[in-house]
Amino acid sequence: ALQYSIEKIREDFPILKREVNGYPLVYFDNAATSQTPQQVIDVIADYYANYNANIHRGVHALSQEATDKYEEARHIIQQHFNIEKSHEVIFTSGTTHGINLVSNGFASLLENGDEIIVSALEHHSNIVPWQILAEKTGAVLKVIPMNQEGELIYSAFEELLSEKTKLVFVNHVSNALGTVNPIKKIIDKAHQYNAAVLVDGAQAAPHIKADVKALDVDFYVVSAHKMCGPTGVGMLYGKEEWLNKLPPYQGGGEMIATVTFEKTTYAELPHKFEAGTPNICGGIAFGAAINYMNNLGFDKIAAYEEELLHYGTEKLLEIDGMEIYGVSKEKTAVISFNIKGLHPYDIGTILDKLGIAVRTGHHCAQPIMDFYKIPGTVRASFSFYNTKEEIDAFIKAVIKAKTMLS
Ligand code: PMP
């Protein structure tokens, strides 16, 4: 049996002790951003208290300490995602930045009439940059459709592929529904056509330890703030051969080898893609967050969250008029729902009055809402530090909201 000491884990998160509107906080907006354990907060405070300095350039002690810690964090990230070479780890400001870095680079690699494939289950940040790319290059954007259960239709994906396909971009886990996509199958199939695959791992990273080597994925992007780290930092993994093919995204300091007004040469990886002073403290804290989660263990986290998902789903379905969107057997602890006749925003507002944080709206995934012909949903997303007691409070509050609004 799994040893999982929820009381001890909750002690690590100071924010979980606070009240909202006179009620104990119930934080079920983990898919938007996760909370930060004291171990990570301490690392952030330690950086600013003891060795705040710019990296890679300084001869002095503080700069070297900061550089060492930053590069140590790169190493932690490398190991966590089973990345072969440390220079295949590019620090970014987050998933959105990572995707834009790749989509901009592909502008110089695509030709009019090439095809690129997106899925119906994407976050806007894995749609819009590719639309811009298609507009710039004349490439054609194709969409893998979804079914009523909130899953991608894999056979339709196979039919979209052709010799013209250059790139496929899908998320590992859908933020709006929690569906876990069959990315290994998608990657292997796309590679049969020599198409590159970018996987948006923003929602998978807090629940699933992705092994990029086993996946053989070409690009994998995540945000630290979804996995117990700070905002404003993330990772782009790219296979070395691809990162060498892509031109730099931003010009500036750090990313050059030599600069003259006649010609500038670019630095080696990873610096070619890391122009300017990065989020140094954020990067170091990202490493600490990954260490924290690995100390708990991703197997234990996944098993516990699955229990919460089943418990929450069962309880919600006892409520009359309940409609849950995204019912794949392969899903993370996200419940997206509506109650017949009620607006999601009104439910969310009443839940907030009762101290319960959920997200309402389209979740930056309007195509999914259009598919279901709804304006949005209420989304409760659980983390490893949530409890069944919190779910009970949430269910009570949903019933109260329903009574008040009906
Ligand atoms: N993709 C998915 C699936 C997401 O859930 C999010 C965050 N909601 C993003 C991309 C964008 O991440 P960020 O805002 O951290 O860049």
pLDDT per residue over 199-226, tens digit each? Answer: 999 999 999 999 999 999 999 999 999 9
Cβ < 6 Å from ligand 1: which residues? 94-96, 123, 125-126, 171, 175, 200, 202-203, 223, 364
Beta bridge partners of 170: 199
How confident is the model over 271-290, as pLDDT tens digits?
999 999 999 999 999 999 99
Question: Which residue's CA is the nearest one to ligand 1's atom 5?
Answer: 175
CA of 86 to the centre of ligand 1 (A): 24
Measured from the Cβ of residue 13, the count of other Cβ atoms closer than 10 Å reads 19
The alpha-carbon radius of gyration of the chain (Å, integer) is 22
CA of 365 to the centre of ligand 1 (A): 10
How confident is the model over 153-167, as pLDDT tens digits?
999 999 999 999 999
Look at 234 and 57; give whichever has higher pLDDT: 234
Q: Among the CATH numbers 1.20.1740.10, 3.40.50.20, 3.40.50.300, 3.90.1150.10, which is that of 6-30+297-405?
A: 3.90.1150.10
- At residue 3, the pLDDT reads 63
DSSP E strands, 135-225: 140-144, 165-171, 196-200, 219-223
Residue 135, classed as helix, strand or coil, is helix
How confident is the model over 181-200, as pLDDT tens digits?
999 999 999 999 999 999 99
* Average pLDDT estimate for 118-138: 97
CA of 82 to the centre of ligand 1 (A): 22
Q: Where are the domains of the chain?
A: 6-30+297-405, 41-294
How confident is the model over 288-339, as pLDDT tens digits?
999 999 999 999 999 999 999 999 999 999 999 999 999 999 999 999 999 9
- At residue 58, the pLDDT reads 81
Q: How confident is the model at residue 4 (pLDDT cuts 50, 70, 90)?
A: confident
Q: How confident is the model at residue 125 (pLDDT cuts 50, 70, 90)?
A: very high
Measured from the Cα of 122, ligand 1's closest atom is: 3
Measured from the Cα of 175, ligand 1's closest atom is: 5
CA of 148 to the centre of ligand 1 (A): 23
d(CA 126, CA 120) in angstroms, rounded, equals 10
Catalytic residues: 364
Measured from the Cα of 226, ligand 1's closest atom is: 15
Residues with Cβ within 8 Å of residue 99, at least 6 apart in sequence: 125, 126, 129, 169, 198, 200, 221
DSSP annotation of 262 reads S
Measured from the Cα of 98, ligand 1's closest atom is: 16
Mutate which of 95, 121, 122, 359 to test ligand 1's pocket (most atoms within 8 Å of Cβ)?
Answer: 95
Q: Among the CATH numbers 2.40.50.100, 3.40.640.10, 3.40.190.10, 2.40.100.20, which is that of 41-294?
A: 3.40.640.10
Task: Output the six-digit token pair for 258.
Answer: 């030599």
How confident is the model over 228-240, as pLDDT tens digits?
999 999 999 999 9
CA of 372 to the centre of ligand 1 (A): 21
Cβ burial, residue 176 (10 Å; 0-12/13-18/19+): buried
pLDDT tops 70 at residue 2: no
Residue 67, classed as helix, strand or coil, is helix
Q: What mean pLDDT is reported for the chain?
A: 97
Mutate which of 128, 223, 331 to test ligand 1's pocket (most atoms within 8 Å of Cβ)?
Answer: 223
Domains 6-30+297-405 and 41-294 share a fold: no
Which helix (H) or strand (E) is 256 found in, with range? strand 256-259
Q: What is the pTM of this model?
A: 0.98
- At residue 1, the pLDDT reads 41
Position 343, amino acid: H
Beta bridge partners of 246: none
d(CA 301, CA 304) in angstroms, rounded, equals 5
Position 380, amino acid: A
Mutate which of 96, 101, 225, 366 to test ligand 1's pocket (most atoms within 8 Å of Cβ)?
Answer: 96
Residues with Cβ within 8 Å of residue 114, at least 6 apart in sequence: 137, 138, 139, 140, 164, 165, 166
Phi-psi region of 378 (alpha: psi -120 to 50; beta: other; left: phi over 0): beta
Q: How confident is the model at residue 400 (pLDDT cuts 50, 70, 90)?
A: very high
